[in-house]
Amino acid sequence: MDLNERPVHELLELLAQGAIRLEEVLADLEAAIRARDQEVHAYLALAEQEELLRDAYAKSQTLLRGLPIAVKGNICTLEFPTTCGSRLLEQYRSPYEATAVRRWKEAGGTVGGITNLDEFAMGSSTEHSAFGPTRNPWDLGRVPGGSSGGSAAAVAAGTALAALGSDTGGSVRQPAALCGVVGLRPTYGLVSRFGLVSFASSLDIIGTLTRDVRDAALLLSIIAGGDPQDSTSLPVPVQDYTSQLRPDIRGLTVGVPKEYVPGQLGAEALALVDRWKAVVEELGGRVEEITLPLTEYALPTYYLVASAEASANLARYDGVRYTLRGVGRGAAEMIAASRTLGFGPEVKRRIMLGTYALSAGFFARYYGKAQKVRTLIAQEFTQAFTRVDFILGATAPSPAFRVGEKVDPLAMYLSDIFTLPSALAALPAVSIPGGKVGGLPFGLQLIGPRLSEARLLSWALALEEALS
């Protein structure tokens, strides 16, 4: 029946009507995983089918009726190891689960498996996992994006109904764009970070990867809300984002930054952007060309801030408290050996960059200055939202690139150039399928003011329906 290809909200309706049975959904998912995951490699661990079915049936009369979700490998669960895609945590099992996972389960959902990621969420291609790369379901010779590439690929391949990911600088939205699914990064603090393994604490947030915008609204309604276990979570009331969906952009002004549609996108991509603008006007909106000149400083700002915070956060992996321990004469040698064995090259690169930026004599020059530029980027967005209701542009500068194509770290980092600024400004943003370039998915990104998720998802739904 291919029920694994249906969005969650549609499955819930069919289950409520008695038109389908829960075991049919799980059987179709299992068949898809058997057929596709060996080549896509979206998962690091999977629930046993009998155990999943038993757990699902126990929740069959709840809101989510026992439907499973896939969870990125840096989000803690009780059922599976939390490896973060790293040999250093290969056997680590968390003694607690993430608030987002707990809320999904309390609403009647289950956890179907743990998805692959770039090690410690540091990457844009899911090639940097210690457990092998994930492939793009549209073309197995291409990357799915990253770092939430396993989650995006699982949804795109039909091996997950929906998935949780994490977005630090674009790690939900960019793989969503490359895999042709919907990726939502909420306002920083709207979803609890408790149980999300820290990379860059002032940037990390749990987001969703879904088949459509309605599912994004459904998942956000379940996982959002303040959390006393996370001091950075916002004390805002829980909302039902699904009931607030109003796919209507009549009378709204849409800003299109010239920095988000540079000439190097290529003729086919530029034609898609023109199509998006035309659709906005057909729906009754007004398009205004704007400029966000500080966009060019977002990349160096992000990599200084994120790497500095990563250096501090990853200092806890010392070979003493977690699963991998190297051999050395004395504590210093043992710690150095553990980190040398446990961390991959990309993680080491960012730790070294961050440690240098935080070192004596350089803190103010690098990390301190980057934080000042970050404030200016946020102020630039605030000013833009006095003129426009939301901002539209490409999610990524290209469709999925080939596995092994971007060996230069800077070329890889530029994959997130359109997602970094809004992350630095703590803004909500969503990527939806915007069409195809070279036969591959190409993402459309919408950015809204802080805590505008209800409106942002409504606008995204309007464009999704018009472009579908």
Active-site residues: which are they? 72, 147, 171
DSSP result, 266-312: -HHHHHHHHHHHHHHHHTT-EEEEE--GGGGGHHHHHHHHHHHHHHH
Q: How far apart are CA 405 and CA 408, in angstroms?
A: 9
Query: Which residue is it, tokens 């200084």?
Result: 304
Q: How far apart are CA 452 and CA 441, in angstroms?
A: 26
Do 289 and 320 form a contact (C-beta atoms < 8 A)?
Answer: no
Q: How far apart are CA 304 and CA 357, in angstroms?
A: 7
CA 460 to chain centre: 17
Backbone phi, then psi, for 380, in 5-degree steps?
-65, -40
Do 175 and 209 form a contact (C-beta atoms < 8 A)?
Answer: yes
CA 242 to chain centre: 20
CA 1 to chain centre: 29
Do 47 and 58 form a contact (C-beta atoms < 8 A)?
Answer: no
| Amino acid identity for residue 198 in this structure | S
- HSE-up of residue 201 (Cα within 13 Å, Cβ side): 12
Do 152 and 179 form a contact (C-beta atoms < 8 A)?
Answer: yes
Find residue 289's DSSP bridge partners: 256
Beta-strand pair 68-72/110-115: parallel
| Amino acid identity for residue 168 in this structure | T
CA 52 to chain centre: 25
Burial 65-84 (b: 16+ CB within 10 A, else e): bbbbbbbbbbbbbebbbbbb
Cis? peptide before 338, omega within 30° of 0: no
Q: How far apart are CA 115 and CA 103, in angstroms?
A: 19
**Residues comprising the chain, all counted:** 468
Q: How far apart are CA 172 and CA 206, in angstroms?
A: 9
**Tokens coding 394:** 């490409």
What CA–CA distances, in Å, run from 264 to 169, 324, 417, 463? 21, 44, 13, 24
What CA–CA distances, in Å, run from 189 to 225, 389, 428, 451? 8, 22, 10, 10
